[in-house]
Every structure is written in structure tokens, then in C-alpha cells.
Chains A and B, each alone.
Chain A
Amino acid sequence: MTRFEPKPTALSEPFWEGTSERELRFQRCGGCGAAVWYPRLRCPSCLGDDLRWTRSSGQGSVYTFNVMRRPGNPMMADEVPYVVAIIDLDEGYRMLTNITGCAPEAIECGQRVEVAWDVELSDGRRLPTFVPSPAGST
């Protein structure tokens, strides 16, 4: 069974287009400057509607994570064990994702990570996940 494939909406389409080009995007509020995730129609800090799609560096640090030993939903049955994490992106927003490319035992809160594009969906979009940053990078 394959993982649940999210359905793009008119609101989220620019994000999903970016993933096909391996570019991580988020919304920045032109009014108050807040970094916004997940996509909104209006800024959740000021309710302004001047939300601008912006490229993220894809760099951040681990806020928290788990190790799923039982699938969180039936579509993930073949993936266990897998790691769900919340990442603090350097641009000032927080997103939920998976950490891949390392043993779960090697992950810790605060660790530096960067976006990876290994998970391709059936229509060419990609699901951004994160991997540990190479040693020595900031």
C-alpha cells in the first residue's frame, strides 16, 4: 500500500508545484512579515491577505520527533518504523515531516536537518522530508 497522497487545493498549488522542482516554499506575510505554515488564505498573525510564496532554504533544526513502531494510519503499514518530526525552519516557521536517511537512534532534538526529496508521488509531486545536515554545515 502506498502512502496517503495529499490532494492539492487552489490555495496549496504553488507549494506542490515547487515540490516537483525540489523547491520548498512557504508563505511570507507582506503586511507583518510573519512566516506562515501551512498555507492560509489570510495571515494567522495579522489577518492580512498579502501572503507571498517564498523559497525556503530547507535548513532547520529538530523541534521534536518520534519513532512510529506501529503505523499511524493504514497506508503507512509498510513504512514502520518511521520517524515523524516537527522542524523549526530557519525562516521562522514550523512544519511536520518525516526524518529519513539515518537510524532513529541517531536523532535528537535541536539537531540540524535539511530538506530531502526522495519521496515521489504518483503525479510527479514530491513530499518533502528531512535528513541530518552533513557534518560541519551550519
Chain B
Amino acid sequence: MVHPLRGATAIVGAVDAVSPTGALDRPVAALEVDMVKQALDDAGLTIGDVDAVISNNGMMASLDLAERLGVRGRFTDSTMTGGSSFEVHVEHAAVAIAHGLCDVAVIVYAATPRSGKNPFGGGGPPMGGDLPFLEWDLPYGLGLPASSYSLAARRHMHEFGTTNEQLAAIAVSFREWAAKNPNAYHRTPITVDDVLESPWVAEPLHKLDCCLVTDGAGALVLTSADRARDLRQPPVFVLGAGTAHTHGMSISQMPDLTTTGAAVSGPQALSMAGVGPSDIDVVELYDSFTITALMTLEDLGFCQKGEGGAFVADGRLGPGGSLPTNTNGGGLAYTHPGMYGMFVLVEAVRQLRGDSGERQVSGAEVAVANGCGGVLSCTSTIVLGGGSTI
């Protein structure tokens, strides 16, 4: 039986704002409303059509943003799961639209950690109170995200023999894509040796294993499949969705540091979509670090657990490879304003519309977009498809 959510909704507007300098010249509040306007223009809709505003940027985020947009909504969502928030937002909006709770939802993100106009650095409100992280992790020198992700990388190396050279191959492939993206921050090709010779941040992660810190913004518009067919852009249908979380902000509470929630969210989303890993034409995933990308590929089922190192080492993820992945250059080379999950979705939509220019994957019809938030804490997987999939 076909899942009732499969193809019931579509992404009809998708835009982002990213500069090759890494900096944007407007504050977050201005970027947010600009992105909404541009995404609605992209879709051929107006603000009067919108009855759901979704944002994770602060206390009562979606209400505050809706107020600034002049929207009185009948569905709202301020879910904050870090970098995977936007995939979770698509999942929630798809369910709400499919059940008639709202008609047109906008999902927005903007952060300017590079130019310093956002005091939260794109990572949400500062932590306080009696959070376990403050009492049990911070005194031992955690805090920098690489400090937690490096613990996963070491364990993966210990259990499966994964090497720094294999992790570096991921950064090399994503940089090859970035070279084809005029808005990417890093467009100069790199080699495995460049990655290995870059300074250690948190061993076993080198600097070039780590994502950028840039400004960036984006927005998505979702509506029902029926309404989508009459709009400006070819609809990109939501075929499947799944979310899973394993822990909060303490990496020590992750049951198995080599397996992310994508081992649950991925199969759920793929099953809902009625596709398997071999049906996927293009993968857009959250590469906060090379190890995040490697474990996500395993967990989504593109290779067996533990085989990710060999899987990525031959350039398979890059241009001309058999599994085009992070075709915009990813968080490692395109942009990373703190919560990269928005750009995963925008690029997946562009690829399925055939709008990705020099980096277009020929004939792309099915894409996976995978977000990962916190410290490997929460993953959310969205499967998207073009018109031929319905």
C-alpha cells in the first residue's frame, strides 16, 4: 500500500542567500523576510496565501516571524533540533498540509555568524540553567562541536579501520562540486594531502575535515500536490520523511557513537517513498564534519556499516561519480551558518528542478536530503521526487 503522505505535498518555492565572501550585508531579521518574499516569488504565491510560518530562530520563533510578516497562521511550528530542524519542519508541514490543517507553509532560516550580526552565532539561544552539558561535559573541555564529533571519528576508526585518508576523500569530493558553484566559499580544488596537512582541530579531525563558519539564509514553501501543479515551478514532491534522535547535547549519552539516527530516519523515509538506496540519483546530506557524512551514508544504507571509508575513497561522491553527493559543495565548502539543514533541502530541490547549472546531475529524479543536528543528536531524512515519481 502506498503511504498516504507519499507525494501528498510538494516544495514549490526554494531559495537561499549565500555569498562567496562568506558574509552577507544584512542582519538576520532582514534576511528572514527577504527570503520569504523571494521564496514566494519563486513559487508564484503571495504572503496572503501563507497560513503557516515555521522558524527555529529563538523563543516563540514562528510567532515572532509571522508577526513581522503580517501572517495570522492556523498552523505553527518552532521546533528546534539544531541543524536538522528544517527537515523536521518539512516533515511537520507535509503532515499538516496533507491533513488539511494548513494550505501553504513557509520555512525560514537566516544566521550571520561570520559578520557577527547574530549574537547566537546561528546556533540558537545560549545554554543556561542546570543543563547536564554544563555540569558534566564543559568542565572537561567540550564545547567546540569538533570536540564531540572527533570522539565519533575515533571510535569509527577503532571499530572499522577507517582512516584519515578516507575521511579526507570526502572533503576532496565536496570541494570538486564547490568548484562548480559560483556562490561557494571554497572553490579551489584540494587533495587528500592538503586535508592531512591542515592543522589538527580535535584529533582525529583536521581543519579541512570541519565545516565552514559563514553567513547564510534560505526559505522553502510547501503546499499540497494538487495546488503545486498550478504554480510557477515544477513541483518537487515530498515522497518520504523520517526523524530520529538518540540523545541531547551530551555526546556521552549517544548509545553507539558510530551509528546516527539516520539508521532509523533513513529507512523510514525511504520506505515511505517506496524507494531504496539504489534508486537515489542525488544525495544532499549534512556534512558538519567528514565523519558526519561518512556515517550518514552508511546509516542511509548506501553501504554497510563500517564500509563507509572504502565506499567514499574512490571519488564516488564527486562530479562524475556513481553517487553524486553534496553537489553545492556542502557545509565543508559552500556555506555553514550554524544550521546547514536548510541548504541541503534547497540544493535537492534545485537538482530535481534541473536548475543546478554546471553542477546539475543529469536526469535527477529522486533525491535524499538528510539533516543532522546537535552533536549527532537528531537526524531527519526527506526523500524528494520530480514529476516522474508520482
Spell out A's residues near B (CB within 8 Å).
Answer: 3-9, 12, 38, 63-73, 76, 79, 82, 84-86, 94-98, 104, 108-110, 127, 129
Contact = CB atoms under 8 A, between A and B. Distances in A.
B100 interface: no
B144 A64 contact: no
Given A6-B134, A38-B136, A94-B252, A71 B151 contact: no
Nearest to A76: B141
A3 B139 contact: yes
Contacts of B143: 72-73, 76
Contacts of B144: 68, 70-73
Nearest to A9: B130
Contacts of A3: 139, 141
Given A72-B144, A82-B141, A110 B250 contact: no
Nearest to A67: B203
A132 to B, nearest CB: 17
Contact of A84 (B135, B147, B153, B199): B147
A31 B77 CA distance: 38
Given A65-B154, A73-B144, A84-B202, 7 more contacts: A66-B203, A68-B203, A72-B141, A73-B141, A76-B141, A84-B147, A109-B158
Contact of B202 (A9, A67, A73, A96): A67
Contact of B138 (A6, A86, A94, A108): A6
8 contacts: A9-B130, A9-B135, A38-B252, A73-B143, A96-B136, A96-B251, A104-B203, A108-B158
B68 to A, nearest CB: 34
A129 B150 CA distance: 19
A66 B147 contact: yes
Given A63-B155, A64-B152, A96-B252, A69 B203 contact: yes
Contact of B257 (A64, A73, A129): A64
A12 B134 CA distance: 13
B10 to A, nearest CB: 40
Contacts of B252: 38, 86, 94-96
Which of under 10, 10 to 19, 20 to 34, or 35 or more describes the interface residues of B? 20 to 34
B204 interface: yes
A109 B139 contact: no
B201 A84 contact: no
Ranked nearest first, the 5 interchain pairs of A and B with the lowest CB-CB distance are: A73-B143, A67-B203, A109-B158, A66-B150, A96-B252
B95 interface: no
Interface in B127-182: 130, 132, 134-144, 146-147, 150-155, 158
Contact of A73 (B135, B138, B201, B251): B138
Contact of B199 (A7, A69, A72): A69
Interface string B174-209: 000000000000000000000000011111110000
Contacts of A68: 141, 144, 147, 202-203
Interface of B is mostly: helix
A104 to B, nearest CB: 7
B250 A96 contact: yes
Contacts of B152: 64
A72 B151 contact: no
Contacts of A5: 139
Nearest to A80: B141
A129 B139 CA distance: 11
Contacts of B139: 3-6, 127
A71 B203 contact: no
Nearest to B203: A67
Contacts of A109: 154-155, 158
Contacts of A82: 141
A64 B291 CA distance: 14
B155 A96 contact: no
A38 B130 CA distance: 13
B154 A98 contact: no
B147 A38 contact: no
Contact of A64 (B130, B137, B138, B155): B155
Contacts of A104: 203
Contacts of A7: 130, 134-135
Nearest to A86: B252
A96 B135 contact: no
A79 B146 CA distance: 17
Interface in B239-297: 250-252, 257
Contact of B200 (A8, A69, A73): A69
A105 to B, nearest CB: 10
A127 B130 CA distance: 18
A102 to B, nearest CB: 15
Contacts of A110: 158
B200 A67 contact: yes
